[in-house]
DNA sequence: ACTATGGGCAAGTAACTACTTGCCTATCAA
DNA sequence: TTGATAGGCAAGTAGTTACTTGCCCATAGT
């Protein structure tokens, strides 16, 4: 569960996709492809982006809704909210036994 | 910079190492090896753990101090603190055009 | 009907990553 | 000095991952 999230976040292209969906939610696959190419100089095939979106969906970070022949993608930042909490204690621990 | 952090967190063994160092800081390489084997059923060579520690150090998540022939490792959770903030806005945006 | 658009399903390739094995150095105790 | 302990430096391998290419399906416009 957390494994999918961290694996999804490990790729810089996927993080850029999350950035894009944060800035403008409800983008289609083609819309994302265009923005990745234009704004971020990431030239990759449509399938590459599609596969990245699948990974993000599998991790629960992106939700998609289909309308006609369009498929819109939205970010779901909820799983990210407490992802690092396990290592951030209230105070700094030291290992004096 | 953030790339190293996410790449470091992508591996479950490295996350377990961070868990271990959170529970008990200042562990040596051998100490960590023992705990990974005993507590977490992760049977791997000393070098494997050493390489994981190197990745974590490279990401700034672990600091090490050498004393004599021992090398102690401590977690530094600071880089984790605001790592997901870029996707967590104050309110949910919707992309009605 | 036909054609263009938006997207999906593979299978293949190149690059990366985790892990191992073997040897080598440094520190401490006898 | 010898031997044991704690750790480092590669080079090699198996598995994973990101990306491509090619073909196929569905919806929408004419």
Q: What is the pLDDT of residue A1?
A: 87
Whats the size of chain B, residue-wise?
97
**In this structure, is residue A91 part of a structural domain?**
no
> Residues B10-59: pLDDT tens digits?
999 999 999 999 999 999 999 999 999 999 999 999 999 999 999 999 99
Contact yes or no for B86 and A9 at CB 8 A? no
Q: Tell me if A43 is assigned to some domain.
A: yes
pLDDT in tens, A25-79: 999 999 999 999 999 999 999 999 999 999 999 999 999 999 999 999 999 999 9
Is there a domain that residue B94 lies in?
no
Residue A97: inside a domain: no
Q: Is A75 helix (H, G, I), strand (E, B) or coil?
A: strand
Residues B87, A24: C-beta atoms closer than 8 Å? no
Please give the Cα distance from A4 to A82 (Å, whole number).
15
Instruction: Please tell me the total count of domains within chain A.
Output: 1
Locate A46 and state its tokens.
């449509």
The verdict on residue A9 lying in a domain is yes
Count the Cβ atoms, other than its own, within 10 Å of residue B5: 20
H or E segment and range at residue B20: helix B12-23
Q: How many angstroms separate the CA atoms of A74 and B9, rounded?
A: 24
Beta bridge partners of A63: A74
Question: Which among A15, A25, A81 is the nearest to B95, CB-wise?
Answer: A25
Q: Is the CB of B34 under 7 A from strand C?
A: no
Q: Which domain holds residue A31?
A: 2-75
CATH code of B10's domain: 1.10.10.10
Q: Determine, yes or no, domain membership for A7.
A: yes
């Amino acid at each position: 569960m957390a494994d999918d999230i961290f694996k999804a976040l490990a790729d810089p292209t996927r993080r850029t996709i999350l950035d894009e969906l944060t800035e403008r939610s409800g983008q289609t696959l083609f819309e994302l492809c265009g923005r990745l190419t234009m704004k971020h100089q990431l030239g990759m095939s449509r399938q590459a982006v599609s596969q990245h979106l699948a990974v993000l969906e599998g991790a629960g970070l992106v939700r998609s809704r289909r309308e006609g022949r369009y498929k819109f993608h939205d970010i779901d930042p909820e799983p990210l909210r407490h992802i690092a909490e396990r290592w951030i204690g209230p105070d700094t621990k030291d290992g004096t036994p």
